């Protein structure tokens, strides 16, 4: 109950964005390979930001 109004940290926001991009990339994999690769590149950039925050 006390976590209702808790704001998400920057790391949590980036993790959600990473997960979303990976899912979109997976879905596009069978439809359009170049779009899928672009989503994976964006997800990789987000992952690097997450790792930088952890240090």
What is the model's pLDDT at position 32? 93
For residues 46 and 26, give the distance between their C-alpha atoms in angstroms, rounded to a whole number: 16
What is the model's pLDDT at position 5? 77
What is the model's pLDDT at position 14? 94
Q: CA distances (Å), 7 to each of 4, 11, 32, in order?
A: 9, 11, 36
Q: How confident is the model at residue 52 (pLDDT cuts 50, 70, 90)?
A: very high
What is the model's pLDDT at position 6? 81
Question: Within 10 Å of residue 52's Cβ, how many Cβ atoms?
Answer: 9
pLDDT of 1 above 60: no
For residues 3 and 35, give the distance between their C-alpha atoms in angstroms, rounded to a whole number: 37
pLDDT of 3 above 90: no
Cα 43–chain centre separation = 5
Question: Within 10 Å of residue 36's Cβ, how many Cβ atoms?
Answer: 17
């Amino acid at each position: 109950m006390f976590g209702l109004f808790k704001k998400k940290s920057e790391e949590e926001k980036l993790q959600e964005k990473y997960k979303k991009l990976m899912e979109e990339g997976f879905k596009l994999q069978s439809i359009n390979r170049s779009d899928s690769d672009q989503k994976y590149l964006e997800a990789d950039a987000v992952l690097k930001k997450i790792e930088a925050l952890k240090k």
